[in-house]
Each structure stands twice: as structure tokens, then as C-alpha cells.
Chain A
Amino acid sequence: MKEKLKDALALATAVLVVSALYMVFIYAPTEANMGNIQRIFYFHVSFAWTGFVAFFGTFAGSIMYLIRKKRCWDILAVSSAEIGIAFCLVVLTTGPIWARPVWGAWWTWDPRLVTFLILTFMFVAYMIVRGAIEEETKRGRFSAVIGIIAFLNVPLTYVANVMWRTIHPDVIRPDKVDLDPRMIHALFMSMSAITLLYVILLLWRMDLEGMRDRVAELKKKIMEEA
């Protein structure tokens, strides 16, 4: 039953992704100032939003792990972190692709961009720490500490960067984009698609981690019997 539900969810994700692609590339009108490059924005924003949700998942899983010490929370935390990193890499790639023609530079120290970059750095460090610890409960505890502290730093990093920018008024800001209703529909559709993609990837990734545990357990049993 549970497997069937996941299959259904996967199918729904596929349908939504295809619909989102249709809406982003065909349904939504071409933006007047920026041209076709603006279409990247639908996915950029969706991945950014979902990447952030993913790190929140790690944050919540980490807190629960420290309180309850149950492996399932650690599994949630690490699975969500991995997806979060992947999604943030999408954000950090699509950002410059958009920025180059529109703002005239691959990289700008835009507060949101910097915050995502720092967040990605922190969670890569989180994965490195996990890789360096063999013992399961210690790995869970140590990485949970990082998961919590790193996430708490998000608002401060963002605020610091916003304040930092206001002191450099010569920043190239994008013109206020007047959103056509069809653009909002497309954005909404791609956001739903990517959020669902996160959910299904998370479920799969958690299963995978569970399977790893199961394999380790079986190996141990074989060792004991031999």
C-alpha cells in the first residue's frame, strides 16, 4: 500500500513537471524587457524555495533527533540535506545564467544569492562531517548540531547581506517585473511540481537509507553466525 502511494506520487510529480514545462515555455508570455531568459526564473524560484524547505527539514529532523535519539529523524535530516544541496546547486547555476544577460555579470553579491551560497557551503560541511564519523549515534548527534546551528544562521546572514548592499547604492537591481497573470500561473505550477519532486525524492532517499541500515544489520547477522 505504502509503495503504491509512492508510485502514485511519482506519477503525479511527472505529470506536474511536464505541465510546468509546458506552462513555462509555451503558456506564459515572453517578458518584454528580458526576453526568453526570464523563463529560467520560474524554476530558479521554485528550486530556491524548495531548497530552503529541504534545509528546514534537516533543521527539524536534527532537533527531533537530539531530543528523541531515534534513527528515523537522522534519516530525515540527512536525506533532506542531500536534496537541499542538489537543489541549491540548481539555484546557484540558474542564477548566474539569468544574471549574465540581465544584470551584465555572472555573479552579483545579491543577498539572496549569497545566503544560498553560504547555506550550501554549510551543508556541504555537514555532509563532510557525516562522512568522517563511522559510529551511527555519534554521527547523528554531531551532524544534528550542525544542522541546527547552520539553519539558525540563515536569517542573520540574509539580513547582514541586505544591510551590506544598502551601503552600495550603485547596485544593478532588476526592474520591477510586472507579472502577467499567466506568468503567475506558470510560477505556481512549477513551484508545485518542484515541491512534489522534493517530497518524492525525500521519500525515496529515506527508503534508501533504511535499506542501507537493513544491509548492515544482515551483514552483522551473517558475521555473528559464521
Chain B
Amino acid sequence: MTQPVALHVTDRRSFVLSAAGIAALAVGLSGPAAQAQDAAAIEALLKKVVGDAKPAAARVLIDIPEIAENGNTVPFAISVESPMTDADSVKTVHIIATGNPQPDVAAFNFTPQSGKAYVSSRMRLGKTQDIYAIAQMSDGKFFMSKKTVKVTIGGCGG
């Protein structure tokens, strides 16, 4: 009884290993040059939102699955730490999906009457990529956060 089970495990492992090998190969092919280009493109995207400001990596929380089976609807929630008073509140939260054909996902505008800087929606993701959430506060400061989502089936059509 134990032998078939052991065999099954071995098969699974070798399958996983070969799959990992293929993935590594694919990463190797895209190369460091492509990555450098990506980094510059991402920088440009962020700059479009924040201008010359340097957003601090704090206060913004992105709740999104690490692995999205279906890129057509990836549920996400963003919350930003803020008292949401007239003097100190979150004005806008921008969502950017860096690997999409059009990286802009949405921009959400809050008011002190919101009570809580929280929004939940669903986004499309064409492939595995980084998601950025950038919060602009009422005093003009920016905060941001980044999360990587692995996409099994892309959701941008072809």
C-alpha cells in the first residue's frame, strides 16, 4: 500500500521540479535588460501620479491575493491609516498595475465624511506583476505600498 503512494509523490515532485525549471528558463529569457526597462517604466508611471514628491512606503495597506487564478476579476481592498478629519484626511488613492496594457486601474477620492479611507473593488491583471497603491493626503504628502500578484490566467483579452 505504501509503495504506490511513494511513487505518486515522486512523480509529483519531479513534475513540480520540471515546471520550476521551465519557469526559471522563461525568467532567464526576459533577461536583466528587460527588467531595467521595466524599472524605468514603473518610475515614469509613479512620477505621473506623485510628480517630484518622494512617497514614503507606509500607512497604505493593500489586501490582494498573492496568486490570482483568474486575472479578469482580482478582488482587492485598500486601506490607508488616517484620522479622516477636516484637517488630516486621505484625498485620493491611485491604483497602478504595472504590467497591464493600460497600467491605470482606478483613482478613488475620499472626503472627511468618508469616515474611513477604505475601498474595495476588483481589478483586471494581464499577467504576473506588481500593484502599487499611492495615497495622496490632504496636506499634499504621498504614501505608497506595493504588492506582487501572480496571475495564472491573464485577464486583458487578446
**A, B from the same assembly:** no
